[in-house]
Amino acid sequence: MKIKLVSVILVMAFNLSHVFAQDINQVVKLPQLTVEQKWETAEGNLVYFVISGISYAKSKGETPEDFGKWAGLVGCPYWQSMDSMSPAKFVQQISANKQQFKGFQMEILEAKKSYVKGRMKGYGNDLVTMYNMGGVTEDDYTRFFNKKWETIAHCVGFDYRQEKKGEWVYFTVSEKK
């Protein structure tokens, strides 16, 4: 009987010490990312959110263009607040926006006061295919951005047109006629 009582006490003491041991503060070391790691994380997060928006739109029976138009309209007040907007400044702002992607490239092919023609690539398209999430394709991603930039361009008095050829997206930003 004494052995049973001692055994029960020891088992209870062990169990109690195990329960209380779980409540002891633990040291959690937070990651300290390099600039390169921060950049990769930012790229991935942006692409993830665009994919999520497109996937959500598709789940509601809508298209990537529907989401692009909505995103463009949300951004219109910001773009309308810029002084001295011109087709060249519009393209410069797109370039500034996309430079958060390490692989982003933009080239100006022709520029006049009333229009700018160029091409760009490397703004997350490859990540869409790599992530393969939410049923979103690279074509969906490209169509989203086409409609987003088209919508914003209309808000500030321009036309935006784009066409994908290979890995490049060819675009024209022009004054409305």
- Beta-strand (E) ranges in 17-175? 105-111, 115-121, 158-165, 168-175
Which pLDDT tens digit goes with each residue over 34-47? 999 999 999 999 99
- pTM for the predicted model, two decimal places: 0.82
pLDDT tier at 6, thresholds 50, 70, 90: very low
For the chain, which domains are there? 37-175 (3.30.1380)
**Can you give the pLDDT at residue 58?**
96
pLDDT tier at 22, thresholds 50, 70, 90: low
Tell me, what amino acid is at 32?
Q
Using alpha carbons only, give the angle 89, 94, 97 rounded to the nearest 5 degrees: 125
Over residues 144-154, mean pLDDT: 97
Over residues 100-119, mean pLDDT: 96
Residue with tokens 């463009």: 72
- The rounded distance, in Å, linking the Cα atoms of 152 and 147 is 9
- The rounded distance, in Å, linking the Cα atoms of 36 and 21 is 39
pLDDT tier at 177, thresholds 50, 70, 90: confident
Least confident of 34-38, 106-110, 115-119: 34-38
Percentage of residues of the chain with pLDDT beyond 70: 88
Quick one: which of 140, 157, 153 has its CA closest to 171?
153
